[in-house]
Amino acid sequence: MPVVSAVMTTEIMPGCEPYSATGSRNGVLVLHGFTGNPASMRSLAEAIANEGYSVELPRLPGHGTSVADMMTTTWADWSGEAARVFEELSARCDQVAVVGLSMGGGLTAFLAESHPEIAGIVLINPLVKAPPAELREGLDQLLAAGVETIDSIGSDIKKEGAVEASYDATPLACAASLFEGVALVEENLASITSPVLVLSSREDHVVTSDNGDAVVERAAGPVERVWLENSYHVATMDNDADLVEAQTVAFLQRVLAS
């Protein structure tokens, strides 16, 4: 039988289901990116769970089903779901850390800005800045002209044969909402006091590296940055995946030490 979301009207794409693991009273929330789904973070989430942590990798609203589903959602839905799962995990854990890729990194920063109790955050090629005004204006013009989608931004992976199970189109209204959300995240980066690990690909065709620069420059807590030399945007599925996992696990072991 196909897996059907209790919230969405469309069947979940195979392999795009949420992931959950019960472990110790140290928890880790893992968040995927825009137009992506849990599949891009599954290997990393499992590596974290294998260290004994309790792990939640939710499927954000509108993701992992269909573009039509996504077009009914906004930043409020994605950030609201991230906050809901964070609260549930926090209720059963003594300490919680958060890990996010791309928009998931923006959501991770969003949570850290209002939850100083977060033990630490890992940001993988995070989106924490809105694009330049002229790009946003162009997007608004496309929407006004009735254009609903553009080409997909998914599967920016250097590794030969690796493919992300992301959508084949990018819904523009959702992108506009995303940019409004991350603009607020950028304004509040100085509110982040938790320890931060930033993992940045040298070559990224989706999110510019100045997003990571902004975190390094503005976050109030201690920040460590590691450059990924052999991956594009979806580094969790790319040539540096093992390095991403090793760096993430080592960081979590430090910040979640009892």
Q: Contact at 8 Å (CB) between 31 and 80?
A: no
- Helix or strand holding residue 244 (H, E): helix 241-255
Short-list 52, 22, 39, 162, CA closest to 101: 39
DSSP readout, 143-206? HHTT--EEE-------STT------SEEEHHHHHHHHHHHHHHHHTGGG--S-EEEEEESS-SS
Which positions are annotated as active-site residues? 102, 204, 233
Q: How far apart are CA 80 and CA 84, in angstroms?
A: 6
Rounded CA separation 241/29 (Å): 18
Nearest to 115 by CA among 97, 94, 93: 97
Contacts of 62 (CB under 8 A, 6+ apart): 8, 69, 70, 71, 72, 73, 77, 78, 174
The C-alpha atoms of residue 201 and residue 73 are separated, in whole angstroms, by 29
CA nearest to 197, candidates 221, 218, 233, 232 = 221
